[in-house]
Amino acid sequence: MRDAQPQSIYLKDYCQPEYWINQTELTFELQEDATVVTAVLTLEANNAGNQSGVLELQGQQLELLQLALDGTTLAADAYTVTDDSLTITGLAQQHQLSIVTRIDPAANTALEGLYRSGGMYCTQCEAEGFRRITYYLDRPDVMSVFTTHIIADGERYPVMLSNGNCIADETLADGRRQVSWLDPHRKPAYLFALVAGDLLHKEDHFTTMSGRDVTLRIFVEPQNIDKTEYALDALKRSMRWDEEVYGREYDLDIFMIVAVDDFNMGAMENKGLNVFNSSCVLANPATATDAAYQRIEAIVAHEYFHNWSGNRVTCRDWFQLSLKEGFTVFRDASFSADMHSATVKRIEDARMVRTVQFAEDGGPMAHPVQPDSFIEIANFYTVTIYEKGAEVVGMIHKILGADGFRKGSDLYFERHDGQAVTIHDFVAAMEDANGIDLTLFKRWYKQAGTPVVSAEVDYRADEQALYLTLRQQCPDTPGQTNKQPMWIPVQLGLLDANGQDLPVQVTPSVNAAGMETWTAASQVLHLTEAEQTFVFSGLESQPVLSLFRDFSAPVKVEFEQSAQDLLFRLQHDSDGFNRWDAGQRLMLGWIDQARLDEFELPEDARQVMAELLSDDTLDPAMVSYLLTLPSEAYIAEFSDQVDPHAIHLGRQRVRLAMAMALNEQFAACYQRLLSHAEYQPEPQQMAARTLKNLALSYWSVASDAGVRQALAQFGSSDNMTDQMAALQALICSGDDELAQQSLEAFYQQWQNDALVVNQWLSVQAGSADLGTLSRIQQLLEHEAFDWRNPNKIRSVIGAFANQALCHFHAQDGSGYRLLADAVIRLNATNPQIASRLLTPLTKWRRLVPALSEQMKEQLERVAAQPDLSRDVYEIVSKSLA
């Protein structure tokens, strides 16, 4: 908390530090009332940093006990301490600085730095948490070799962990235990980690491609020891995949994961010691859904992949955050695509980008993948940095092809191993390895906003040619106007009357960047100017155009295609992603119609959908996505002015119409996929369950037989995927008493399992049928709820504001008020979580006027609070600007 208005930090102001810290030796004395931290820093002046003999270290909420330079205690007038810093003047070339501070982990509710979670100690230092542990140059370009000694009561804390390899474990004269760790790899402070607690672990081993043995351990609280198997398996598969696909080998003797209940993020890639939110690592069939298994697999892979893309090569400053995050999300997405269905993974990613990232681009927090400025870096762990950053890397992959991309990544790792670098360095490695100029492409990193590409076709029968004119334009965003054209890879296909892909001959053959316009291997057209016309020749009749296959660029597409063409593509497109996209566009049209009037499913669409449901040669997971209606949030992104109640009504009507028209087919599909095989979290079973449970959700909307089946599945299933799907179907059945009884039974069964209880909370809070304001208030007062635990806050308030849209947008503004109250409350205890919860309130400008006014009022109420954290201040002030 601070008095002065928080200031922005600018990328253009970056300069190197005046000192480096070559060695960092830390000693933690963990005591029940407080922790004493001794830091011994080996300093060396950075001559390029224009040395002035002044060292300013960052530090927050620290009590300074002692300060010594080269063994001599510093006089009080030799340094200055403020709320955020410690400044020492008159320094020479080299020094050893010793700092003793006292901190209070038990009182740390912000969950940044060192804190208590249940009975254990743990840390979260990214981005700027290390400054809550000791005074330090807390910036990623300062890389140091860390040695860590942990001293504590060995009986209370039998497990004491830090980064690197364990080098000593001894009993001190006073009976306390001291465990020492050395991490030989230089790293920034944000990758530091410490864990101490009474934990159990599961162990496994991995032999690397050069034949080294690595010990793998997952540490959990004792009650969770039966939930570690899947994460260990996912870890081994990730290690193997990174060797095979990127040639990257693990570099320490041990790799550890610790599960923690109170955690702001999903997980953290600390060197050799990943700390995970327990919801992102713990699973067994009875308690975790298939979706949870897949999330765990992806996050374990993501954090492991950071060992190279993030840790070995790290970021120079936080404006480069997407250097490690965009690249690593791209890597984990490729891994998931290889483990499951590439089409389904692409659909999930595009859905996320279109729903959440496009919304961010269109709102007050719009920022480029490489931002120019920020007030609080914690606010920039965004879908733009992560998901759009990954899409940008994916476009480089599309432009260079798999082999070219691998050459580029090899050069990047080789050239920059052990360094803190920039996004520019990453692109330069891609360019140099492939002899290509990506100058124009780099606009993707600097320009915020979602480009809009409009397409116009003109088929000329006399020339047997199709003229395709593409125009691109990127809307203004806060602080950015008059944007330049981007390099947009347009993957496309032309379908003949039977739905077969036609061969493509196109002119012009070279684009503005000197690149071939069309490469048959990747089927990609390169749009690089504001407007370009491409001529496809040799076409005897007018083909159906399939544009932006595989979601080849994160753009909005304006292309009028008839319902008939969309249905044709849903049925025939050889690109699975575009089959889905065509279906979604068709459904958006229906929902738009159904806002105004009752709706009946067109007969031709009914036939195509019935065929999809009975075709057992198709991937059931893909069929399930093809028949899933767009979410209300997704529909909102396709509306100019958002009326959440009209969207809800339209979607409900279409859902009912589909359920009625295809009732028999859904029932038959469900029966066909019903299996009595033992549950396994493996791709084929997961795919079948996805479609089976989608069929159940429609079937139970339209008929009592479906509801009876849901009830039977709820009572008899041996796995959480089926039990939760049945519970959801019962909640949507319209029978309130049945829904209530089922929820009650579910809670009785699972009340002692925190992760399942979180699912129980969110299935109610996020439900259009149940998530009313009074229900939310009940849940907030329930014994299972806890304001200190981020997972519980997300399960109730997050689910309510992001999913139960018809209640969140209640006409009287009560939903907005509830969210604002929560933000105000959390601002004082956990600013990161408070700030993240705020996002739904930033969308007021696009709402229908009556709601817009009420939402704005609540934002203004938050803005008027005294003692706003930097996190909340930044979002609120930008949203109202």
Q: Which is nearer to Zn ion, 299 or 555 (CB)?
A: 299
Of 307 and 665, CB closest to Zn ion = 307
Q: How far is the CB of 325 from Zn ion (least distance, A)?
A: 5
Q: Which is nearer to Zn ion, 330 or 551 (CB)?
A: 330
- 270 vs 628 by CB, closer to Zn ion: 270
Minimum Å distance from CB 754 to Zn ion? 24
The nearest distance, CB 182 to Zn ion, in angstroms, is 25
**Of the two residues 124 and 879, which places its CB atom closer to Zn ion in the complex?**
124
Q: For residue 377, how many other CB atoms are within 10 A of its CB?
A: 18
Q: Are 797 and 819 in contact (CB under 8 A)?
A: yes
Q: What string marks each residue from 321 to 350 as x (binds Zn ion by CB under 5 A) or -?
A: ----x-------------------------
Are the C-beta atoms of 324 and 314 separated by less than 8 Å?
Answer: yes
- According to DSSP, the residues that pair with 23 across neighbouring strands are 42, 145
* Catalytic annotation present for 303: yes
β-strand 79-81 against 35-45: which pairing, if any? Answer: unpaired
Residue 302 CB, nearest approach to Zn ion (Å): 6
CB of 305 to Zn ion, least distance (A): 8
DSSP 106: G
Interface map 276-315 toward Zn ion (x if CB under 5 A)? ----------------------------------------
Closer residue to Zn ion, CB minimum distance, 290 or 325: 325
If the CB atoms of residues 25 and 325 are measured against Zn ion, the closer one turns out to be 325
Indicate the residue among 325 and 387 with the shorter CB distance to Zn ion: 325
Q: Which is nearer to Zn ion, 188 or 449 (CB)?
A: 188
Stretch that binds Zn ion, among 283-291, 318-326, 658-666, 842-850 (CB under 5 A): 318-326
* Nearest distance in Å: CB 795, Zn ion: 22
Site for Zn ion in 663-682 (CB under 5 A): none
DSSP codes, 520-579: TTTTEEEE-SSEEEEEE---SSPPEEE-SGGG-SS-EEE----HHHHHHHHHH-SSHHHH
Considering the complex, what minimum distance in angstroms separates the CB of residue 321 from Zn ion?
Answer: 9
Which letter does DSSP use for residue 386 in this model?
I
Buried b (16+ CB within 10 A) or exposed e, 850-871: ebbebbbebbebbeebeebbbb
Whether omega before 188 lies within 30 degrees of 0, making that bond cis, reads: no
Of 307, 326, 240, give the one whose Cα is nearest residue 268.
307
Q: Which stretch binds Zn ion (CB under 5 A): 61-69, 184-192, 320-328, 429-437?
A: 320-328
Query: Phi, psi (5° rounding) for residue 729?
Result: -60, -40
Measured in whole angstroms, the distance separating CA 308 from the mean position of its chain's CA atoms is 19
- Annotated catalytic residue, options 112, 128, 303, 376: 303
User: Is there a contact between 133 and 103 (Cβ–Cβ < 8 Å)?
Assistant: yes
CB of 192 to Zn ion, least distance (A): 16
Count of residues binding Zn ion (CB under 5 A)? Answer: 1
Cβ-proximal residues to 740 (8 Å cutoff; 6+ apart), any chain: none
CB of residue 267 to Zn ion, shortest distance in Å: 8
Q: How far apart are CA 834 and CA 831, in angstroms?
A: 5
Q: Give the burial string for 729-753 (b: 16+ CB within 10 Å, else e).
A: bbbbbebeebbeebbeebeeebeeb
Contact 114, 123 (CB under 8 A): yes
The set of residues, in sequence order, having a beta carbon less than 8 Å from that of 303 and lying 6+ positions away, is 257, 267, 268, 269, 274, 276
Q: Distances from the Cα of 346 to the Cαs of 343, 609, 622, 624, 845, in angstroms?
A: 5, 21, 11, 14, 30
What radius of gyration, in Å, describes the C-alpha atoms of the chain? Answer: 28
- Footprint of Zn ion on this chain (CB under 5 A)? 325
What positions carry a catalytic annotation? 303
